Structure 1
């Protein structure tokens, strides 16, 4: 896989070699909301990312982030190499082990093939939790993860309070669309 087959909903900040590395663990990570604040009269929530651990000291982070398109609600997947198992902004992480050998590029290919990179956030600028729940479900449907989807959904349905605790939080959903704008 190279950036030539990914559309304009990706922002790769990794080498081609990093995409050809085996994934040892899949972490979904709730990031710290240090002051437990919401925005625009909304209750607090965590931003979430997926970290594909490739060694005890490295991972590839997949961060679906809004801020693109005319209204800023179109997401892009930011793909970043980390020198740790998951981002140091993590408050809580939940780990799933692949059932078979798989490389980072294979997971990106599944996301692209199912048009999961073509994502628009909710009007409240929320949707990373829903996006992750769908990607984890896709990985389970492909036989890469087992019994991860229901477990992940339970974790993603919570607000993880900083520094400790949790409470149920409505999961707002964005929308997926077909994407044909390929990077040249």
Structure 2
């Protein structure tokens, strides 16, 4: 279950920054997307999380839709891929959302194919790393970046490389 964030949610400490690649909630016939969708989940100390997500809400949309959701869980039921990054001590949900918003990552024009979410997540992970918000070795960050290079499918156990098509921050 997920809800909108409250003012108190922004003060929650973040334990892990989790990249989850999942089956997309919505797909549009005009999309030539990979069939999997990445999101960032900020795992909080109360056993819940905040999902930080960019997606294409409607078939005619050229702009991505930035969404923050408070979730009562740390992981969806059937993730296709999960990579965890440890957050630095003292990091809060507000620190992360403030960085994302301050860097202008909330205004994102999708690629013509309706894709670009993987590039968006990669960019946000790069921003979090550059800000010193990730307390991990470079290998873990590289693992998250590499996971975003692939197309994952529920019905297949393997994955395939898929070129990342960037959108544009506006």
TM range (shorter): 0.7 to 0.9
Residue ranges of structure 2 left out of the alignment (5+ in a row): none
What is the number of residues matched between the two proteins? 162
* SS in structure 1 of the partner of residue 80 of structure 2: strand
Within 5 Å, give how 1:78-117 maps onto structure 2: 78-88=67-77, 90-117=79-106
Looking at structure 2, the residues matched to 38 and 169 of structure 1 have their Cα atoms a distance apart, in angstroms, of: 19
Contact 1:133 1:149 (8 Å CA) reproduced: no
Offset of residue 113 of structure 1: 1.1
Offset of residue 131 of structure 1: 0.3
Offset of residue 99 of structure 1: 2.7
Select which of 16, 25, 28 maps to 2:7: 16
Within 5 Å, give how 1:2-151 maps onto structure 2: 13-32=4-23, 40=30, 42=32, 44-55=34-45, 57-67=47-57, 71-88=60-77, 90-145=79-134, 146=136, 147=138, 148-151=140-143
Looking at structure 1, the residues matched to 57 and 115 of structure 2 have their Cα atoms a distance apart, in angstroms, of: 11
Cα distance change, pair 168–39 in 1 and its aligned pair in 2 (3 A) = farther
Contact 2:20 2:80 (8 Å CA) reproduced: yes
Offset of residue 151 of structure 1: 2.4
Looking at structure 2, the residues matched to 26 and 122 of structure 1 have their Cα atoms a distance apart, in angstroms, of: 26
* SS in structure 2 of the partner of residue 90 of structure 1: coil
Cα distance change, pair 113–43 in 1 and its aligned pair in 2 (3 A) = closer
Offset of residue 42 of structure 1: 3.5
Looking at structure 2, the residues matched to 114 and 43 of structure 1 have their Cα atoms a distance apart, in angstroms, of: 26
Cα distance change, pair 103–15 in 1 and its aligned pair in 2 (3 A) = same
Offset of residue 90 of structure 1: 2.3
Runs in 1 of length 4+ with deviation above 4 angstroms?
37-41
Cα distance change, pair 23–107 in 1 and its aligned pair in 2 (3 A) = same
When the two structures are superposed, what TM-score results if normalisation uses the length of structure 2? 0.85
Residue ranges of structure 1 left out of the alignment (5+ in a row): 1-11, 178-184
